[in-house]
Amino acid sequence: MRATPGHTNGCLSFVLDDESRVFTGDCLLIRGCGRTDFQQGDTAALYRSVHLQLFTLPAECQVYPGHDYNGMGVSSIGEERRFNPRLGGDVAEADFAGFMRHLGLPYPKKMDLAVPANLRCGRPEGDVMPRADPMWAPLSFTIAGLWEIAPHALAELASEVQVLDVREPEEFSHGLGHIEGALLVPLGQLESRLAELPRGRPIVTVCRSGARSARAAAMLGKAGFEQVANLNGGMLRWRAEGHPAQGAGE
């Protein structure tokens, strides 16, 4: 691993032990390099990173960048030393700095929001987690920012929660069936029917696979419902684990 800052402070490149391949991320690209005009970009640092950390590798070392805009997947250190228009050949640090100052590229959309989030490693601003009360059930928090409950946990708590099924009526009544006591509110109707839902009782959202119900759980959270969880895997996992369903197979 080699520190190759310049595009960002934290850019790293990874070199195999035999120096046959290097994975350069956004530092050295094929016939290009990462931008230096935002998120701690530094032209001098990037120039030194490439010339001192990467161009010192063997000429035959294969270069695998983090991405490419022209359909090329691999280059070599020898090729980039010779042909890279920004950093190769006789390009000096001052030449490189002038080149990068005049790229004329548009500023990336929402970069001012994305960069701070990246620096926090995706943690919510202020390190405040979304409101939820995991004490009413054994829940897990997903990368999407939602609480989920496993089928076996829901089976044990079925009488204490309101199951909210957000599928269409024909799915509710046939095929996989539905969980006993579930309230059917199709996802497309949920926003207009929020008043029908209990606010003093935990709600578990359910659909076929867990995708639509995840959206429903997010909608409920936004509407102020605090005790909400999504059924992990939906009715597919519920049935696969052997839990009963009404209307199944009809």
pLDDT score at 122: 59
SS3 (DSSP) at 18? coil
Give the helix/strand (H/E) hosting 171: helix 169-173
Residue 19 inside a domain? The answer is: yes
Q: What mean pLDDT, rounded, does the chain reach?
A: 90
Residues 140 and 214 in one domain: yes
Residues 215 and 233 in one domain: yes
Residues 34 and 77 in one domain: yes
68 CB neighbour count, 10 Å cutoff: 15
Q: Is a pLDDT exceeding 80 seen at residue 138?
A: yes
CA dihedral 209, 214, 215, 219 (to 10 degrees): 150
Domains identified in the chain, total number: 2
* Rounded-to-integer distance, Cα 86 and Cα 106, Å: 19
Residues 99 and 139 in one domain: no
Residues 79 and 134 in one domain: no
Residues 106 and 150 in one domain: no
Residue 250 inside a domain? The answer is: no
Q: Residue 159 burial by CB count (10 A; 0-12/13-18/19+): exposed, middle or buried?
A: exposed
- Please give the residue range of the domain that contains residue 100: 2-119
Residues 196 and 150 in one domain: yes
Residue 124 inside a domain? The answer is: no
Residues 195 and 145 in one domain: yes
* Rounded-to-integer distance, Cα 115 and Cα 120, Å: 9
Residues 47 and 87 in one domain: yes
pLDDT score at 124: 57
Residue 79 inside a domain? The answer is: yes
pLDDT score at 78: 97
CATH of the domain at 143: 3.40.250.10
| Inter-CA distances, 6 with 40, 46, 85, Å | 7, 4, 17
134 CB neighbour count, 10 Å cutoff: 13
- For 173, the token pair is 């009544």
pLDDT score at 112: 74
pLDDT, tens digit, for every residue of 180-198? 999 999 999 999 999 999 9
pLDDT band at 125 (very low <50, low <70, confident <90, very high): low
The residue among 50, 35, 235, 73 whose CA lies nearest residue 154 is 235
CATH of the domain at 104: 3.60.15.10
Residue 248 inside a domain? The answer is: no
pLDDT score at 65: 96
Higher-confidence position of 250 and 42: 42
For residues 127-153, give the mean pLDDT.
Answer: 79
* Rounded-to-integer distance, Cα 25 and Cα 31, Å: 14
- For 110, the token pair is 């929402």
What letter would DSSP give residue 166? Answer: -
pLDDT, tens digit, for every residue of 72-114? 899 999 999 999 999 999 999 999 999 998 888 888 777 777 7
For residues 188-214, give the mean pLDDT.
Answer: 95
The residue among 202, 224, 222 whose CA lies nearest residue 149 is 202
pLDDT band at 132 (very low <50, low <70, confident <90, very high): very low
Q: What is the pTM of this model?
A: 0.52
Residue 235 inside a domain? The answer is: yes
